[in-house]
Structure formats: C-alpha cells, structure tokens
Amino acid sequence: MRFATPLIEGRLIRRYKRFLADIALPDGTEITAHCANPGGMIGLNMPGIGAYLSYHDKPSRKLKHSLELVRLDDGTFVGINTSHPNGLVEEAIRDGTIAELAGYPSLRREVRYGKNSRIDILLESPDRPPCYVEVKNVHLTRPDGPHPTAAEFPDAVTARGAKHLREMTDMVADGARAVMVYLVQRSDNDHFRIAADIDPAYDNALRQARANGVEAVCYACQVSPAGITVERQLPLML
C-alpha cells in the first residue's frame, strides 16, 4: 500500500478523545487531525513524537488530515491507522506473502456472520471449506517490559476481540476454517505475544479458540512515509 499523496510531517502535541490529535507543523501551524485508532497507543502518543499526516480534501470531511504514522527516536516508523490492516492483509494474500492463506480463488471483505458481526475477509474455494479471516492491528511494543522485542496485542481491553474469537470458534465447529491474522505495523520486533496483563480475558479467549481449532499467524510490515508493505512472518509465543 502506497500513500496516495506525500505525507505531511509534524510533531504530536496531544492525542485526546481517542480519535483526535493536535499536531504542530514545521511552520508553527497547529492543526487537529483524525486519529483512526481506538486503542491505548501505549508508547506512541507522547507529546513531541514525530507524526505523519495524510491530507483529504473531500468536502464532507470535517477534519482534513489523518494521523498515519509516528516516528520513534530511533527512527522506527509505526503505523497507527487501524483502517489499513484489512487492505494490507488482502494485498498480502493476493500476492502470496501470507502462504497460510493461499489457494482460495474468491476473497470477499466485510461478510456478515455470527451474531451481528462481519468477518474481515472470507476466503472461498469450490474444493475446500470456507476460511474466515479476522485481522487485528498490532503496534504495541514495550521496551521496558518483560519482553522488550515482542509485538503485543492488545494495547487496551477488547471485549469485541474476545467476541470475535468465540464466533470464529463456532465457524470451526460448523466445519469451516478460521484464522486470526495479527498484523504488526512496525518492523522492530522479532516475535509476537498476547499482552495478558492488559487483557487477561482476551488471552484466555485466544487460548480456548486455538484449542478448538482456530489458527493464528502474525506478520510484520515495512513502514515508511512512502507506504506500508507486509514483509515477514513473526514467530508466535502464545
């Protein structure tokens, strides 16, 4: 995925009300951008951190800028826009990067299933069971934590995420395949873990789902102001 227009560089002043971020531009102008991220953004929302914005000129948009990336002090870019992972995973399935999900001629997005839910991606083939793919955005890394090189999920309690795991388990019980894809929008990790201290209920839900046939994989991205590309698989430490 390449950004349609060059990103605008600035510095984060503050992120607030979950979906708003005040940004200082190099010329001293301050703007408010949409922050498409409902999570805690632990370690990624400090005042002064590098911030990269896309610009949208649709008349219907109240906020013309969206926060896309932050840049850490060591130069690592981290994607924080949670509207991108589904498209990134679709690209990676189509180009064969995610080998575990190869071999399905049909790919559909946002298909209704379960109890008033939509699956992120439904893969279908005439000669095999359907495959339900749920995508989770990952950007949490805690350098001062017990696993400083791990990518972790979630960064806030997610009852919705646990609900999805239960519904995917139901799909497996009905004879389908179900796969959790954890997509890491950064490149400085060497494995993936569940942040059980942040959300023990989600950790337990994933353990139960995997015991009942739900699969899990994790892939990390190369992130830059030019774009984001799914690059490599990370080992699971679950």
| Closest-CA residue to 39 (of 173, 136, 182, 133) | 136
In the prediction, which pLDDT does 60 show? 86
Q: DSSP string covering 212-229, please? A: TT-EEEEEEEEEETTEEE
Give the pLDDT confidence score for residue 196 in this predicted structure. Answer: 97
Rounded distance, CA 47 to CA 140, Å? 17
Nearest 5°: the CA angle 161, 180, 4 is 90
Whether cis (ω within 30° of 0) applies to the bond prior to 143 is no
**24 Cβ partners below 8 Å, 6+ apart?**
10, 11, 12, 13, 30
Q: Could you tell me where in the chain the CATH 2.40.50.580 domains are found?
A: 8-79
| Structural tokens at position 96 | 């064969």
Stretch 209-218: mean pLDDT: 98
CA distances from 77 to 20, 34, 108, 167 (A): 20, 18, 30, 34
pLDDT at 202: 98
Residue 178 confidence (pLDDT) above 90: yes
Starting from the edge strand earliest in sequence, which strands make up the sheet with 128-138, in order?
106-113, 117-125, 128-138, 177-184, 215-224, 227-233
What is the chain's mean pLDDT, rounded? 96
Q: Give 19-76 pLDDT, tens digit per residue.
A: 999 999 999 999 999 999 999 999 999 999 999 999 998 888 899 999 999 999 999 9
CA angle 80, 222, 229 (to 5 degrees): 90
Q: What proportion of the chain, given as a percentage, has pLDDT over 70?
A: 100
What pLDDT was estimated at residue 89? 98
The model's pLDDT over 85-97, given as tens digits with 9 standing for 90+, comes to: 999 999 999 999 9
pLDDT number for residue 181:
98
Question: Could you tell me which CATH class the domain 8-79 is placed in?
Answer: mainly beta
Q: Say if residues 229 and 222 touch (Cβ distance below 8 Å).
A: yes
Q: How far apart are CA 33 and CA 115, in angstroms?
A: 34
**pLDDT tops 90 at residue 18:** no
- Grade residue 197 by pLDDT with cuts at 50, 70 and 90: very high
Q: Which two tokens stand for residue 90?
A: 């679709």
The CATH architecture of the domain made up of 85-233 is 3-Layer(aba) Sandwich (3.40)
Q: Do 123 and 181 touch, CB atoms closer than 8 A?
A: no
pLDDT at residue number 167: 96
pLDDT digit string, tens, across residues 76-134:
999 999 999 999 999 999 999 999 999 999 999 999 998 888 999 999 999 999 999 99
* Cβ proximity of 93 and 121 under 8 Å: yes
For residue 152, pLDDT beyond 90: yes
Q: What is the pTM of this model?
A: 0.95
**Location of each CATH 3.40.1350.60 domain in the chain:** 85-233
